[in-house]
Every structure is written in structure tokens, then in C-alpha cells.
Structure 1
């Protein structure tokens, strides 16, 4: 336990408690003492003490309590009454709060017996500023709370945020309140719903506000109970009268509506107010047009204003914390458990917070020149996403059941193979003896025999057991570690470990563990979601997932519930999952995938001649790289297009061997990555790495130039002008001798984003294509259902004219290449439309610009091939 005095005094009413690693005098003075001095807190009022942690920087509740038992009496004797605690674990012990994060800016009473006269402020470790300078506002907020508490002027965050408010509850009062809103050119809006799933969500309550203090909130489908029962204060009862009034207002309002996470609120409103049934595309499109006529999404605004390699918080409560404080101790999981008056106030505060977030982050977005990407790409993408989420993806439950059966059978097969290995049998005995020793140590005289522990079996789902098996029993090298520096046991690590053994039994165990992990992941991640798909009254069920803008640093879409971006591709399990997706009667499930988008983009942006000549001279890229990596293994191959391309037939194994090193090195791996992941010896790995970087020297120079620029300006500019802020590079001289490891890691993240961000071309293509669809006679005949990686998936009416239109217009949208950095005279982006029949696992590719006759012929040939497989 160390302490630090900043100015001698008889007593110290304030104590700053922080980690040893942050306990440097100059830093403490700069980040804490000087800002407190500016708030009229003299240095002699403050003392610093270290907190105890283990070597990983962690502390258990038990150890924290023991340390505080020694520290608090000493602080009490020094007259300390305010604790500024720069550690969430200690803060929770002191205050007995379950979470630390929501309490930044608050002063709470100490809950440890005997020290209730002390108060606690959750502080911030100043070292966080190195990784994310944007946290300075949080540090300032906590020091203000500390100073105010000491000076007697402390007021909890969020007090009196509501100014003028009305809470009408009957139809006519609600109609009158809404009629008054037409005077405001901009309104923030928010709903509280009964579920995250659109078909169960309804519109519990709705709120609008026109500034950061005033607004209106009213119930819709939330009906209060006469008497609370079993913790419930209300119930979900569709109120068609209020829904009609709300719809009438939304259709008539000519101003701009402002939402936070618009995709959720808007899809719930469209489903409830405009769609007469789940397959009502006409109602969907009407509601979509109304709700996206003039709108903003403050979640996307905040994303564009804060997108950083350090990450960012995009939840409304986190973004508005300084304004409204912790106005909901916990996120509401079931609005029926909240009294109506309380729920309406909560709903209204959400809209006030939305205005605060807009007013705070929109100027930053505009200053950083992100308004163009917001208006031209992000908002149009939300419109497409909302239609996708409301449409859903079609599933056959019969094939979902078959997939579950196949996965469960495979899992059992892998377990059987694992348990048949003699080393597993001996390892199981070891586990039983260990369990016996543990149990018997608690007994005084009677001891359990080993037979008593026959129930103990090796469990592949147990991380500790896997660690023992891999690194003790099988004596494999530790090549990966977890965030807590424990030996890793995930499927990716298992695949690498195969390259570090030649023992057949060990290989069999590792292969079975990999298969088990993959099958178990698919069974848990996808099948339950598929089984919960919704019936809409046709011959399939519908999976309504979520597609998230602002979910990645590169700008590419993320996905959740389930994560469709993780659907395995091209493997046995990929086909198993894709067989579940089948179009309803009268429709075709279709998709178009950009041709090798990342490879094209890398060639076009870097202007690397060895990447461009794959497209300009006809080289096979894998063959070219194989020739560069392994020239001594390719006798007879010389440096010509024809000779190098012949590797594909003459040396297919060498061509295949080149693929994995290319992937690793493309994403900033090194020779060490090749040794760890692929088992190459050091000499071979270094040679491959050197040959790769020689082949793509121009690309390396281009990426380095972008990172050097980022070190000067604090961000990299990726596709469509999207900024990815690089706080560490901005603070660091980038060279091998002085660049910290963390800054190099940030450089890799930024470098990867330079290419991955062009996945936004998929969004742009979907936006352009759907704009053409909505303006066409086929607006009800083509439905977007998913954007996954670099592909666009659709449901298309089974009609030749509709298919021909989609084939022509979609590929036209995907050929777009007008960004200056990707324009080229001969290297052109492209794609082709696939029809998936009878399921996603079987496809037929349509020629670009095919006539209806050509489409009919190609589809007939596919049909015949499916019916009569060779």
C-alpha cells in the first residue's frame, strides 16, 4: 500500500484510490489535482493511495474487502470523507452496487459497516485517455461530482430534466396533444414496446419532444390493470383507436422526426400501424415511405461522430448520461411491470435524451465532414434494412428439424471418437482421481472409493478440462492465450494446434474437438432461432433478424439474433444450414455476390501492379502467389502467364498451400503467425513472409502511407469518406523502435478497415437497386431479405419479366464504380444473380443482362440437373 501527499496538511478530506500502474506523481497532478484546483479544491485537501490487484490487473470481491478493511480505518483517521475510486470492482464493493458504469458523475454513500459517513465517487483511471481521448469528458464529469460533493453543491445527474410535459391518456386528449405538434419543424420520438421481436412488440407507449426539456407521452397498447398483480401493472391490449390517431398524425406531419436506433422503432410502428397482416407488402411500403420521408437517427450520428479503433458506446443512456444521468437503474425488460405514469415519464426522457444526443454529436459529425456519408449512404441503408427486417427470411421447419438431427448425430459421433482414444480414457481416470481427492479432503474418516466417481467424464465444453488435456496430457505448445492470459482452447486455436503434432491419436482428438465445436456452435447459435421463426399463413416460416448499421469499425453491417454474417459458407455445415432456407410458393430466393470484392478493392485502391495484373493480364491469383512463395517446389514453371497459371493443374497442392499464408499476411500477420497457425518452420515462414511483401511491395507502401497520415491527422479515411479515428497512432511516432505494441495493433485494425470498409458498396448497391424497384411496376414483386458480407439476397416473384428486371437492375447497381479511388479503365467490379432452388444450398447463375428466353433456358437446365443428378 503506497500513498502520495500533494501538499502537507493535518487531514485529507478527499482520497484518490487507483491502480499502482497509474500512481505516477506527475500524472496524478496533471489529471486530478490541477483540475480540482481549478474547481477550488486545494491540493492539501487530497491524498492518494494505491489499490491492490493481481498481476492481471484484477481483484476478487474477497480480496477487495480484505484490502479495504485495512485501508478504510487509516483513511478515517486522516479525516477522509470522500473517496474517488478509479476502479469499478472496488467501487461496487464500497457501494454494494451491481454495476459501476452507470454511476459516473454520481456521489453515493459508502455501504461498508462503520464507514457509512464516507461517500464514494466513481473515478476514472487516467490511463484510459491514452487509448481513447474521448473519455476526457467522463473524467471531467467525475471530477465535477467530486468537487461539488466536497463543496456542498452536489446535485445528482438528471435532476429536473423534464420541464413542460403532458401525459394525455384518452383518445381525444391524445388527438388534441398531437395536433399541437405540427407547429414544430423537428420532433424527437420514441416508443416503448412489449418485445424486441416485431410480431410481439406492439406500441406500448409513444412520446414526442421538441427540445431538451418539453414533450408529450401517451399510452397506446399499454392498458393499466385495475390492481397490480404478481408484479404486473399493465397488459398488452391492441388499442385500434389510438393506433389510428397516431397513424393519422404520422402521415400528416410534415416535419423531420428524430429517433435513436430508428430501425427498431420504425419497424414496430410500420408493423402495428400499416400492415394488416405479416405478408402485407403494400402496407409495409406505405408505412416505410411515411416513416422515412424525413428522419434522423441519432445512433448513426453518434457512430459517425465517434467511430474509433478504441470503440464507442452507442446506447442512448450511455450517450446521454451526462445530461440525464442513470434515469433507469436497469434497462426495462418488460414494460408491463412498470406503472403507467412511471413508464410515460421514462419514455419522455428518452426523447429528451435523443435531442441532447443530436445537439451534442451532430456538430461533431458535420465538423468531421461525415454528413455526406450519413445522408447519402446511412439513411438510405436504414430504409432498406427496415424492409428486410419486416420481410424476414423464409425457412422450412422440416429441414430445420433435419438439420438439428444431423448436428446432434455429428456431435455424438465426435464424442464417441474422442472417448475411444486411449489417452482420453486415461485422462478421464485422472479427472476422477482429482474429483475423488477433492471430495475426500472434506471428509474426516470415511473415504469415497474411486468407483463413486464413475459419473465424471471428459467434457469438451469445459475450458479448464480442455486446458489440462491439450497442454498437460497431450503436451501441445501454448500458441494462443485468452484476454486473461490463460491458454486458449477455442476452435481457431485447435485448428492451429493440428499443425504442431504428427501423432495420429492427437490429430484424431483435435479433429474431433474441432468438429464438435463447430457443430455445437451451429446447433446453439442458429437452430433455436430457426425453430422460433414465425408462421405468416403461407407454406414457410419467417426468420426476422436484425441488421445493424454502426456495428463495426469499418462501417460494414453486423447482424444479430441470429448473426447471419457467421453462417458457414461452402462447407458441409454451410450446406446443411442453407438447405433450411426455401422460398414460399410463387417466389424465388435469389442473391448476388460481388466478384472477389476485397481483392478487387485492394488492387484498385493500392494500384499495386502485381494485384492489378490478375485482372489486366489474366493471372490466376493463387497460382501467382504460389509461384512467389514456393518457386523451388515448382519445377518447370517460369515467369509467364501461361506457365504460372498451369500450376492449378500441375501443382494443385502447392496452389492450395499458398491460400492460408496469403490470408494471414493480408491481415497484418507475420512469419510468427505462419509458424503458430500453420506449423511452418521458422526459415520457411520467414521466406514466405519476405516473398509476400516483395510481391506486394507497392500495397505495403500504400498502407504505410495511410497509417503515417493517420498518425498526423488522427484518423484514416476509408470508403465513402467514413472516418475511423486512430487515437494511439495520433499520439505515437510510428516506427519499429518506439511504437508501442498497442499502437501497432491499432495500425493493423486501421489497415484492415481500409479494405473491409468497401463492403459499404454492398449497401450502396442495395439502396440504388431498391430505389429502382420502389419506382417500378414490380415494387410488390421484389423484396430485400438480407445483406450478408458482400452479397444481396432477395425474394423475387416467380415471373420471368420480374426476374429479368432484377437481373438487369441489380447487376447494374453492383457494377457502380464512381468513387475516384476505385475507378479504372479495364478493372471493373461485377456480380451475377443466382437463383437458389430448391434451397439456398443449390444455385443457378444467370448471365448478366440475360433475356427472358435465356433465363428460362438456364433455369430449365438447372431444374433437369437437380431432378436427374449425374
Structure 2
């Protein structure tokens, strides 16, 4: 289907003028607005529209001035520095090949409305490029608005989401709210929420007017006062769709660029990036072959990223904000910005202990500011008071209607929370855009992303603050250097969004993963980190002493087993005793060819002698002591009296959340000592710990994805799934299954999801390989759907290069075609496992979002921790029963599988009791 792009040139010019700092060329000619318009037009050209027009206001009055002589009467005249850019703008627009339309007696909106209506009637899709809210009244199926500054589109649903009314109600909505800029009267004190509420109740402006006597309070008086002027307001805000035009849609074809004219104009106004792009286009045109071969089909995220536009890879222009006048200008830009990129600079990487040093913003790629707040080096220039700046920014940062983008924004959200700012309106995070697009293509830090997707080398932290012992706090960095580094962070964040968001927009499943799972999870994790968990320090100290005592006992037992004393923590001494003195087989080697003494190597010889098992037990207790019983007590936050972990969304390729400082995912649960550590995770007096855990979730996902009738039946019948599996495999009644047979079935059930071989099963069960092979053959004969699913998954992985979760998350597997058989086999095992593990990760994330929304306005229950398939809460004792059931319902309802999602919920005074 053909498409028409209509560019609101007047909107572009004013937006660019107010969004960008004043720029000029060497001759002193103003160029800021011109620069912004040119970049927007270059973006439009890349979309290759079938028909296009640049529509601008003509000079002189319009029919609206005749209707109402006060229309736009209060608008100040166009600033001289902006007026000087209008003529050059039109020259560049023309040289780019755009048809230009300027019609006297009407506004650009009316010309756009007429052309959009004509095109729509002829079955042509219309894209209106604008930032003007009035044009939302034109939206319908086939007519969409696009904001090129944010690369976001607005269809009917987006209009409803933004304004609270349908597109066909926008005229009535604008009539009620009025417009102080254009001097449209409206109803005094009637804001968007009130207008939307009235229209929802009464349907239309006429309905509101008919029921004006039913509206109470002062606002009702204002409505009744406005009744005589509302019909006029409606006329003023209604876009004409019947303007007589000398050209129609078929004549709006893009012409060839005038390369020479563009080169002269770009050179005069010093648009270096545009010049560079122009030269590359000219070179491509000169050398382009007559026909190109069809490319091979390759998954989009496996291809090299598209070459970044010159705009996104050019050097930026950054402003250091130290005066009130500068700050006021940026406040105005933030108020008008369609998307705000923000970043904080702090004293520490620990978000729960750091203090803010400064904050940076960008609303247009290539331009950003840094507002220093707490640089305290000797001779530091005066800075704006931190309290005043943050107080002024608070309404913007907390306004959910003002879209924001960050890079790993959870950190910045946590920092700002220390100052009473609850950030709302985070709609994008470039770390997560990259992570969802391709989790394994690169690291997802800003430096790596800028290099990969922008071809841009960022200023590194070490370059401004130094390295190692000589590294200084950011508060000690001089302001000019700090500005170059910090403002770039905000700028590059916005640039990355412009590079990454179009990729996700082109892949609807990935976009849903990003918008429905990852982005809504950011504030949930931030809230959990801010809350933290209460720790019984005395209990930890007691456990630490007990672990030390037991380690000492193990040391003496190890000495007795070895026949002499030695340092159990010395690999070299242990190597000599195990392999030289005791003559045990060295089954694994280090990279240098020496016998290994790592955990796997000791497990391999644990049945040959008592010493390896003693060493393994000693190391396990030492790790518990150093990682948890000693460390947890040391990292209690003095501000809160709690321990605060950091959750990571972009670290595990399958989508799982990980945690660090402390790592709560690795607290052992299979040993008594490991389980005891959970006793130190406590609830405050009058509260309880509630732990909710998915039962065998990955196995249930296997049943759903494979559709195997036997496995589905086993889950629907309830009871012990491993006993039921053993009964199938061994041809017995469930009650006749022995404990060893159940153990074998359990090992197969879980092992298959991780690609366990017959050799691995034989080692785990302590049986010979032939018997293990027989077990697996029986399993697959009873559950043929599982085998078929595994084979089909491997085939799809080889065909597509990736596998997917139930919700569309992708895992790319680069070693599927490796020559090395071990690498290839590992990739195939990952291909089989990833759909289960990734779907489980998606499900618990969806559950967290659902539960957090339910708990949002409650102060008697808080989500504290996520550990694998478990969520841990702190709940006031008197509401435990109701909250427990609410949690269970929402976790069970996080996905619709062909088998029940069972959630086990426990309650106790500490985490261990809750199990």
C-alpha cells in the first residue's frame, strides 16, 4: 500500500528553535533551529516515503483571525534569530527534494488535514510528522502521527493513552481546555483530566454543554460562564479538511536532491555531519551497480547493526549549567520535551549509599547539559543549590506523562529516591533495549553499546577520574571535564535509543517482551532494592562462630586422613598430598597441565579416598562463612539498618534476574548450614516473612511446550510427578515405585532440560552407562512428545540461529555451527534448555509486575527478594492470610499453560521458617 508523509514544517522549526541551544556559524548567522530541522528531514528521507510534502504556515492572517480577532493575539512576534533561519530552511528543504506547500488564509494544520483526508479516502496510508497535539484529531486507522525527535508514533490507542479521550473527541477536548498560547478561550481552570472526565461522562462537547447545570463546585461555575464561547472555541481548534489546493497527493513526489546546492548550504551553515552524509550518498550513487543479488535470510539481530547516521555518531555540544538563567532555560526545554534522557553522577557505584554530585539531561541527540550540584574540590566555581535544583526538577521527574529514557535507569531512580524524588514515566532504557534485541551480541554498558550501535567512542570514567589508588571521587573532578563526561552520558543515552528502538519496533514479539516485561520491571526491582531485607546480625555472628568451629574440626580430620598437617587452603600443598603422597588419580588438569584440585576434580575422586570429601566440605563452609555469615553483617546499610542487594536484568542471556552484593541466588539450600543462613533473614516485630515458590516450574513448562500427553496427564492428576514418571518408565503402579526408581526419574526429568547425557545420568545415579541409557530409552518411549520437542528445538535453533521463550524472548546461539564438537554440543544443550529457563524467567517477572501493582498502595506488605523461582515478602502479621492468597493468585495467573501453575506459599518469622 502506498504511503504519504506530511511534515509539519512550522512545528519543526519552532520545536527545534526552543529545544536546542543557540548556535551560529563562523559568520555569526543563527543556525540552531535550521540544524534541528535538517536532521529531522534526513531522518524522514531514510524512511523512503512514496509521497511527501513539507507544509509550512504562510504569512498573513488566516480565517481564524476573522472569526476571532484575539486569536494568537498574545503570541510574541517571531524572534529575529528565528526569522533569519526561515528562508535558508526553505532552500534546504527544496534542495533535499521535498515539495513545499504554503497556502494563504489557512494554517499548515489545515493543509495537512486536507491532504491527509484526501489520501485516506484513496486508500493511502498517512504519516503526519509533527509535535502538535491539535493534529491528534486527524488520527484514525490509516492516519498516524510520528514524533521524529523521539521516533514514537501515535495511533488511536496512543491518543487515548496520552489524552484520555478518543481521536474523534480531541476537538471537543481542546475546546474545553482552551489554549493559552493561541488564545483559544476554553473553560477557566479546566485541565486535561477534567476535560477527559466530562467527555467520558457526557460523550461530546454538546453533551457537556447540555449537562453544565449538573457540574458542581467552582469548576461548574466556570463551565457555565464559558458556554457562550465554547462553540467559537470549537471552530478555532477544528482543523479544516476541505482547503482548495492546487496540487493533489499524486503530485507530491520526492525529487532528486540538488547535491551542489546542498553542499553549498551545508558548508555555509557548517553542518558537518550532513556534509559527510551527502558525500557518501554522492559516492554511492556514482558507484551503485545496476542490480544487487538477493541477500540470504538471516535473523535480524545476527546481522551487523545498521550503520549509524552521521547525526548519531557526531560529536556533541554540551552546556555546563551554573546560573539560574541557564537552569530556567533547560527547565523550559524539559517541560516541552517529547522525551527526556537523564543520568546522575554520584559518589559511589552502590546506589543505596551514594550521594548525588550532578545530573545531566538531553532532549535532542547531539545536545545535552550537565548541572553540577556537589563538586567540592578547592577553588570549585559556585554551583546552584542542590535542594533548589532538585525541588524544581521533582515535578518533571515525577510526572508520568513526561516520557523518560535512561541507561540502566534503575540506578538513577534509586539515587533520586534518596532526595524524595520518585521517578515516574520511564518508558525506555537503552540497556534493556539492547538486552532484549540480542542478549549475547555485546555487553550492555554504555561504552560497549555506543561503540557497537553508534560507532562512537565515549569518554571513559578513568579518563576523568583516574585509575586505581589515584582515582578521585567524581565530586573532585573539575566542572568542565565533568560536563564533557556527564552530559555525554545523557546525550549518548538518547542517541542509543534512536538507534535501538527502531530495531525493536520492527520485531513485534521482542517489542512486547521489552514493553510488557522488562520496562515495567525496572521500578519493581528499584523498589525492592530500596526496601532491602532485615538481617539478624547476632544470629549471623553465632553461625559464623559455629562454622569456624566446624571448619577447625574438618581441618583436624583432614590432617588425620592425610597423615600430616598441611594448609587446606593451599592448592599446591593439597596437590602434593593427593597425587604424590596418596597416589590418587589426577582426572582433571589445569591449563598448565598440572593436576587440578578444583571442586569438579575433587568430586571425581571423592569415592577413592576420604580426604577429597573433607576438603570439599571444608571449602563449602569457608565459602558460607566468607560470603554470608561474615559479609552480610558488614554490609548492613547504616542509613536503613537493612541489607540491599542489586538486581540485574541484563546479565543472564536466558532472561533470569541475577543479584550481587550480596548474591542472594547462591545461598545453598541443600545443606543444613546453608539453610540456617536463611534464619538470619527476619521480619520486624509484628510482621512475618512470606515465601512463595513456583513448584517444578521448568518441568511444567516442558510439559506445555512439548505437549506430551503423558506428561500433561501426570501434572493434571496432581500428586508426585517424579513418582508418576517412575511408574511410567518402569511399568509399575505408583505405590510400587522404590525410592531409587523415583530418584532416577527425578534425575531424568530435570536432567533432560539441561541436556544430560546417559554418561551424566550414570554418574549422578552411580549406575553403569548401559543402565542409564536404558532408563533414558524407556523415558522417551513413554514420553515421545518430549523427545520430539527436543529434536524440533535443535532443528529450529540450527535453522534460525536462536530459540524463543513462550513470550517471544530470543536467545542467540553462536556455537551451533562450531567445528569443535564440544562447543556445538554445548550450544545444542543450551538451545533445549533456554525455552524452559527463559520462559520461567519471563513468568516470574510477569508475576512480580502483577504483585507489585497489587501492593502499590498498601503499606502492610512489601516484596523484598527474588531468588530463582521464589518471591519473598514482608507482611504485617494481621493481614498474612489475605496477602498470601493474593500473592498465590497473581503468581499462578502470570501465564496460561496447559498444566496448572502451582505456587507453594509459606509463612514464618524468618526466611527459613517460611519454607
TM > 0.5 fold call? yes
Specify the TM-score bucket, using the shorter chain as the normaliser: 0.5 to 0.7
Deviation at 1:301, TM superposition (A): 0.3
Identify the match of residue 553 of structure 1 among 644, 648, 653.
653
C-alpha spacing 1:487/1:616, structure 2 compared with 1 (3 Å)? farther
C-alpha spacing 1:667/1:714, structure 2 compared with 1 (3 Å)? same
Structure 2 unaligned runs (5+)? 1-297, 466-470
Deviation at 1:479, TM superposition (A): 4.6
Look up the match of 2:708: 608
Q: Say whether 1:780 aligns with 2:859.
A: yes
Q: Say whether 1:458 aligns with 2:566.
A: yes
C-alpha deviations, 1:598-645, integer Å up to 9, x for none? 12211222122332232234563333455577x5xxxxxx633xxx33
Secondary structure of the residue aligned to 2:849 is helix
C-alpha spacing 1:831/1:463, structure 2 compared with 1 (3 Å)? same
Look up the match of 2:891: 814
Look up the match of 2:84: none
C-alpha deviations, 1:415-472, integer Å up to 9, x for none? 1111122x352xxxxxxxxxxxxxxxxxxxxxxxxxxxxxxx6333333444444444
What is the CA–CA distance in structure 2 between the aligned matches of 1:488 and 1:326, rounded to whole Å?
42
**Does the 8 A contact of 1:323 with 1:356 survive in 2?**
no
Look up the match of 2:203: none
Structure of larger gyration radius = 2
Secondary structure of the residue aligned to 1:222 is coil
C-alpha spacing 1:347/1:491, structure 2 compared with 1 (3 Å)? same
C-alpha deviations, 1:176-215, integer Å up to 9, x for none? 4323322220121111111122342121111011233101
Deviation at 1:413, TM superposition (A): 1.8
Q: Say whether 1:498 aligns with 2:606.
A: yes
What is the CA–CA distance in structure 2 between the aligned matches of 1:698 and 1:511, rounded to whole Å?
40
What is the CA–CA distance in structure 2 between the aligned matches of 1:569 and 1:611, rounded to whole Å?
27
**Does the 8 A contact of 2:568 with 2:574 survive in 1?**
yes
**Does the 8 A contact of 1:204 with 1:221 survive in 2?**
yes
What is the CA–CA distance in structure 2 between the aligned matches of 1:174 and 1:784, rounded to whole Å?
38
Identify the match of residue 506 of structure 2 among 362, 367, 391.
367
C-alpha spacing 1:585/1:172, structure 2 compared with 1 (3 Å)? farther
C-alpha spacing 1:710/1:655, structure 2 compared with 1 (3 Å)? closer
C-alpha spacing 1:468/1:697, structure 2 compared with 1 (3 Å)? farther
What is the CA–CA distance in structure 2 between the aligned matches of 1:167 and 1:381, rounded to whole Å?
33
C-alpha spacing 1:481/1:377, structure 2 compared with 1 (3 Å)? farther
Q: Say whether 1:162 aligns with 2:316.
A: yes
Look up the match of 1:829: 901
What is the CA–CA distance in structure 1 between the aligned matches of 2:327 and 2:881, rounded to whole Å?
49
Task: Give the TM-score taking structure 2 as reference length.
Answer: 0.61
What is the CA–CA distance in structure 2 between the aligned matches of 1:257 and 1:728, rounded to whole Å?
37
What is the CA–CA distance in structure 2 between the aligned matches of 1:659 and 1:475, rounded to whole Å?
36
Look up the match of 1:752: 833
CA RMSD of aligned residues (A): 3.4
Identify the match of residue 255 of structure 1 among 379, 394, 402.
402
Look up the match of 1:697: 784
**Does the 8 A contact of 2:710 with 2:782 survive in 1?**
yes
Secondary structure of the residue aligned to 1:559 is strand
Matches for 1:184-199 after TM superposition, within 5 Å: 184-199=337-352
Look up the match of 2:675: 575
Q: Say whether 1:623 aligns with 2:700.
A: no
C-alpha spacing 1:482/1:622, structure 2 compared with 1 (3 Å)? farther
Look up the match of 1:123: none
Structure 1 unaligned runs (5+)? 1-130, 142-154, 228-232, 275-286, 426-456, 632-637, 733-737, 845-870
Look up the match of 2:732: 639
Identify the match of residue 793 of structure 1 among 872, 875, 889.
872
**Does the 8 A contact of 2:551 with 2:622 survive in 1?**
yes
Q: Say whether 1:526 aligns with 2:628.
A: yes
Deviation at 1:526, TM superposition (A): 2.1
Deviation at 1:392, TM superposition (A): 0.3
Deviation at 1:588, TM superposition (A): 1.7
Matches for 1:230-249 after TM superposition, within 5 Å: 239-249=386-396
C-alpha deviations, 1:87-128, integer Å up to 9, x for none? xxxxxxxxxxxxxxxxxxxxxxxxxxxxxxxxxxxxxxxxxx
Look up the match of 2:132: none
Look up the match of 1:269: 416
Look up the match of 2:687: 587
What is the CA–CA distance in structure 1 between the aligned matches of 2:502 and 2:907, rounded to whole Å?
45
**Does the 8 A contact of 2:400 with 2:425 survive in 1?**
no
Look up the match of 2:774: 687
Identify the match of residue 614 of structure 2 among 512, 522, 545.
512
Secondary structure of the residue aligned to 1:198 is coil
**Does the 8 A contact of 2:399 with 2:425 survive in 1?**
no
Look up the match of 2:46: none
C-alpha spacing 1:627/1:488, structure 2 compared with 1 (3 Å)? farther
Secondary structure of the residue aligned to 2:443 is coil
What is the CA–CA distance in structure 2 between the aligned matches of 1:252 and 1:565, rounded to whole Å?
35
Matches for 1:316-355 after TM superposition, within 5 Å: 316-321=446-451, 323-328=455-460, 330=462, 334-355=473-494
Secondary structure of the residue aligned to 1:720 is coil
**Does the 8 A contact of 2:397 with 2:424 survive in 1?**
no
**Does the 8 A contact of 2:364 with 2:494 survive in 1?**
yes
Secondary structure of the residue aligned to 1:792 is strand
C-alpha deviations, 1:125-149, integer Å up to 9, x for none? xxxxxx99989859999xxxxxxxx
What is the CA–CA distance in structure 1 between the aligned matches of 2:800 and 2:314, rounded to whole Å?
40
Look up the match of 1:672: 759
Look up the match of 1:409: 549
What is the CA–CA distance in structure 1 between the aligned matches of 2:752 and 2:736, rounded to whole Å?
24
What is the CA–CA distance in structure 1 between the aligned matches of 2:541 and 2:303, rounded to whole Å?
52
**Does the 8 A contact of 1:222 with 1:234 survive in 2?**
no
**Does the 8 A contact of 2:352 with 2:644 survive in 1?**
no
Quick one: higher RCO (CA 8 Å, sep 6+), 1 or 2? 1
**Does the 8 A contact of 1:592 with 1:831 survive in 2?**
yes
**Does the 8 A contact of 2:312 with 2:365 survive in 1?**
no
Secondary structure of the residue aligned to 2:566 is coil
**Does the 8 A contact of 2:398 with 2:424 survive in 1?**
no
C-alpha spacing 1:832/1:252, structure 2 compared with 1 (3 Å)? closer
Look up the match of 1:58: none
C-alpha spacing 1:688/1:831, structure 2 compared with 1 (3 Å)? same
C-alpha spacing 1:678/1:807, structure 2 compared with 1 (3 Å)? closer
Matches for 1:29-44 after TM superposition, within 5 Å: none
Look up the match of 1:446: none
Secondary structure of the residue aligned to 2:852 is helix
